[in-house]
Structure 1
Amino acid sequence: MNRMIVSGGLALALVAGLAWWLNSAPTPAQSELPFAAVNAQESDAETEEGAEAAEEEIDTSTIVEMSMGNPDAEVTLIEYASFTCPHCANFHQNQFKELKADYIDTDKINFIYRDVYFDRYGLWAAMVARCGGQERFFGISDMLYTQQRDWIGNGQDPVAIADRLRKIGKVAGLDDDQLEACLTDNQKAKTLVAWYQENAEEDDITSTPTLVINGEKHSNMAYDELKEVLDEALGE
């Protein structure tokens, strides 16, 4: 069983409304996580909520790993990404398609997708994607990345963003009751935040997209470079 101590302030900040960083995202091939800003939000929230909310024990073992490919493969590739990260959207519209065709669909590797939360909107998007379970997760994820600019808009209207996320969920076959249950599940939201923190700390994740191949961390790269790394790991 995986357990971790998550700051009540950080969980509250992400669930209730962490600041929006997307408009000031950097231009390199990956986005840096705003840890300083997160820590500042955490401190403010802890002050406001008091000592009782400072720490909360959350069981993260209830979170299902979203995976594709061969679970028994000798090579496991973990992608850390955020639904509000433009570089992650670019990765999924380009490198990931080739990766899926060459290595995932052919059962050469085990692929695991793990969420990173820049902001509340990325968390909401993950909750909608996970609302469909393992069977629908990657289909909804593809829609979220393909339509990223459309559902995010200018990032200033939370109600409009939530409505657009609901529409994506409905197109994917989810009904109103399912979506509302998923989007209003505060305990699930806090557990996802704790799970994200646990994974980010364990694998030293500081930017997205980040790829972890058999325990070795790699930054975003062109597909030809990724192919070389995977072929070497596979002994090909």
Structure 2
Amino acid sequence: MPITRRVLAAALSLAGICGAFPLRLIGIATAAEAADASNDLSKPTSLPEMVLGASGAPVRIIEYAASTCPHCARFNRDVFPKLKSEFIDTGKVRYVFREFPLNIKDVACAMVARTIANNDSGKYFAVIDVMFRQQDDLVKKTTDTLKRIAHQAGLGDQAVEDCLRDQATLDKIQADQKFAIDTLKIEGTPTFFVNGTMIVGEIEFEELSKRINSLLKT
């Protein structure tokens, strides 16, 4: 059954609802799977892409992640700052972040992050970083934590409530997730595509750095 704004509001009002689906299969896709996925990665998504890095960067990394995923939070904390400093800010990597909600709370986080950012990628990545760092609070008290984060960005309670009632954005998030599942065969978070090659699960900076450098040499 599709998630509607009524279902979203009702779910968020229930204390302690988590409903995470930990489908995290660690590994790398086969060559055929990676080729198929690569052909579809550039297709337009329903929502504007949230991107950091030069448009002409030789390496393109796409991350599918969820705000309540602890593996994604660890990547954001331990790996992403080094990746940004050494490869994104230096024009070697273009980085794309796409939402892949694992539960109703991830949907709410994605909607609020999109509202705060208002299609500004810099703002979006800043908000996502805050959400990952406050993940425990988001899981325990989703609505209160989202409102607190929104207040810091200058949005009031009513703006958050209006955001969570935005059926159009909700439909787009669901459409993009359906595309990720049906076409790209994504099953969990985090999932990365490095120049089209799928990497499923957590990856350390050293391994990611090796992959990037090998592509920079070609």
Q: Flag whether TM exceeds 0.5 (same fold).
A: yes
How many pairs does the alignment contain? 192
1:192 Cα deviation from its structure 2 partner: 0.9
Q: List 4+ stretches of structure 1 deviating above 4 A.
A: 12-15, 24-30
Of the three residues 51, 54, 57, the one matched with 1:70 is 54
Q: Percent identity?
A: 30
Q: Relative contact order, CA 8 A, sep 6+: which one is greater? A: 2
Q: How does 1:53-202 map to 2 (within 5 A)?
A: 62-131=46-115, 132-133=117-118, 134=120, 135-153=122-140, 160-202=141-183
1:28 Cα deviation from its structure 2 partner: 8.2
Could you tell me which amino acid in structure 2 is paired with residue 114 of structure 1? R
User: Secondary structure of the equivalent of 2:2?
Assistant: helix
TM-score, normalised to structure 2, is: 0.78
**CA contact under 8 A between 1:14 and 1:193: conserved in structure 2?**
no
**CA contact under 8 A between 1:15 and 1:190: conserved in structure 2?**
no
Query: Aligned partners of 1:208, 1:85: CA distance in 2, in Å?
Result: 7
**CA contact under 8 A between 1:82 and 1:208: conserved in structure 2?**
yes
Instruction: Name whichever structure is richer in strand by fraction.
Output: 1
1:139-158 Cα distance to aligned partner (Å, 9 max, x none): 110000001002212xxxxx
* Gap change, CA 1:233 and 1:221, over 3 Å in 2: same
User: Secondary structure of the equivalent of 1:10?
Assistant: coil
Structure 2 unmatched runs, 5+: 28-43
Alignment partner, residue 11 of structure 1: 3
Could you tell me which amino acid in structure 1 is paired with residue 83 of structure 2? L
Could you tell me which amino acid in structure 2 is paired with residue 191 of structure 1? K
1:74 Cα deviation from its structure 2 partner: 1.9
**CA contact under 8 A between 1:15 and 1:189: conserved in structure 2?**
no
User: Secondary structure of the equivalent of 1:208?
Assistant: coil
1:25 Cα deviation from its structure 2 partner: 4.6
Structure 1 unmatched runs, 5+: 1-8, 31-59, 154-159
1:206 aligns with 2:171: no
**CA contact under 8 A between 1:14 and 1:119: conserved in structure 2?**
no
Alignment partner, residue 38 of structure 2: none
Query: Aligned partners of 2:174, 2:6: CA distance in 1, in Å?
Result: 8
